[in-house]
Amino acid sequence: MTEAKSKKQLLILGSGFSKAVSEKMPTVRELAEALKQQINEDPELKDLEDPKYQHLLNDPELLLTYLAQDQPWKKSWEALKERALFLRISKWLAEQIEQCEDQAFGVEIPEWTKRLAKWLNETKAWVITFNYDTVLERACWLYLKEVKPQGDHHAIIFNSYRIPLAPIQSRIAAVLGDLEDYMFDLVKLHGSINWFYSGLEEFPGEQIYCRLVNSKSPYKDDYVSERSILWGVSQEVLKMLLSDRINFIIPPVAEKSRFYSNRTVRSLWGKARDYLQQAEEIYVIGYSLPDTDLTTKLLLQTACVGKTKTVYIVNNNVKGKENLLRRYKDAFPEGTIVRDDYIRPDAVEAMVNDLCKEVIVC
């Protein structure tokens, strides 16, 4: 039996969380440098050498946002060309993150990740993430594999998404059941490298598919299932199932109405609002809360009113402390208690240790 703290707690993850798990996970600056190198080598991206894109190349996510939008000043053929560039870069970005994640989990990850996974499992906590990667899912899969060697680990992680995704294998089979067996509620507001869609410009009712996380590497997921032949498919079959799909990645800044028309995406953001409304303590981990992400700021402003909440900034950027505090105080409603206890070099590990002290396993 687990006795948890009575206050409702919510974790919000940014890229700093994945970087805390492994230095192999890329920052925005590192992705920008890798993209510039890719542009030099990939003929399909040569159009990005045009001077009009140069100011966007230092932020791949901002570049994706611009390319995805049909701005009123774009000629029709320009919009179509930039839409193609958006899809190509989305695929590259997913491949780049997969490569980094493969390297990250090729070695031992920090011990505190097991304590965090244990805490998430025992508390059934709420987690909102802005990350595309599957670092949290993979860390939790490793924890489950260690403590429950005979369990359906991939199904438990899959069920943590708590929205109507379909395993990619369901294109030729049925869907997973037993949705009560899960670790925690995970809301991925910007999509994920293991989620897939058609890439069409309009897709309001389209089914979003998901590759199961069931190995140490995104390159090996779904090939072999622990207990069920149904979900373990060959690499050739998996390649066929994904041949007309593209990674479902939503640019995190500016206007995203095309993505918001999809019912699954609206369900995700609706869940995020509900969790924010109910949470009493919010731990925002490794997320800088950029001024440009107006959608997120509006969500925080409107969903967190009416009840005093305590927000903990969990970030190792000690030098940027005052700027972080300003952005958080601006983003949350008046009356929110914003604390800087975890703005320190060992921010994430310190937070995990404190959270685990609050849970008593009887």
What single-letter amino acid sits at 267?
S
* Residue 329, both tokens: 């105080």
**Average pLDDT of span 289-318:** 90
- Is the pLDDT confidence value at 285 over 70? yes
Residue 98, C-beta contacts closer than 8 angstroms, at least 6 positions apart: 193, 218, 219
pLDDT of 230: 46
Distance CA 216, CA 208 (A): 23
Q: Parse the chain into domains and list their residue ranges.
A: 2-25+267-361, 38-104, 136-183+190-261
Residue 144 has pLDDT above 60, yes or no: yes
Whether pLDDT at 1 is above 60: no
pLDDT digits (tens, 9 = 90+) for 203-237: 888 889 988 888 899 888 865 444 444 456 677 77
Determine contact, residues 135/25, Cβ cutoff 8 Å. Answer: yes
Phi-psi region of 192 (alpha: psi -120 to 50; beta: other; left: phi over 0): beta
Q: So what's the pLDDT on residue 179?
A: 61
The answer to whether 50 and 82 are in contact (CB under 8 A) is: no
Distance from C-alpha of 252 to C-alpha of 128, rounded to nearest angstrom? 14
In a 13 Å sphere around the CA of 290, the CA atoms on its Cβ side amount to 12
pLDDT at residue 293, as a whole number = 80
Residue 344 reports pLDDT greater than 70: yes
What pLDDT shows up at residue 233? 66
Interacting residues of 84 by C-beta distance below 8 A, sequence separation 6+: none
**Strand pairing category for 191-197 and 281-285:** unpaired
Averaged pLDDT, 158-178:
72
User: Rounded CA gap, 279 and 80, in Å?
Assistant: 42
Phi then psi dihedrals of residue 334, to 5 deg: -60, 135
Identify the pLDDT of residue 204.
86
- Contact between residue 56 and residue 31 where contact means Cβ atoms under 8 Å apart: no
- Mean pLDDT, residues 2-27: 85
Q: Is the dihedral of CA 150, 154, 160, 163 positive or negative?
A: negative
Which percentage of the chain shows pLDDT scores above 90? 58
Which is more confident, 349 or 174? 349
**127 CB-near residues (< 8 Å, 6+ apart):** 10, 11, 12, 13, 120, 136, 184, 185, 186, 187
Task: Say whether pTM exceeds 0.85.
Answer: no
User: What mean pLDDT comes out for the span 175-201?
Assistant: 84
Residue 355's pLDDT band (cuts 50, 70, 90): very high
- How is residue 92 written in tokens? 């590259």
Helical axes 76-104 vs 135-147, angle rounded to 10°: 30
pLDDT of residue 6: 58
Average pLDDT, the chain: 87
Q: What is the pLDDT of residue 362?
A: 32
Average confidence (pLDDT) over 337-359: 93
Per-residue confidence (pLDDT) for residue 152, from 0 to 100: 76
Band the pLDDT of 171: cuts 50, 70, 90.
low
Confidence at residue 257, expressed as pLDDT on a 0 to 100 scale? 65
Which tens digit of pLDDT belongs to each residue from 49-97?
999 999 999 999 889 988 988 777 888 888 889 989 999 999 999 999 9
pLDDT over threshold 50, residue 360: yes
Given a cut of 90, whether residue 315 has pLDDT beyond it is yes
Q: What is the pLDDT of residues 262-278, one digit of tens each?
A: 889 989 999 999 999 99
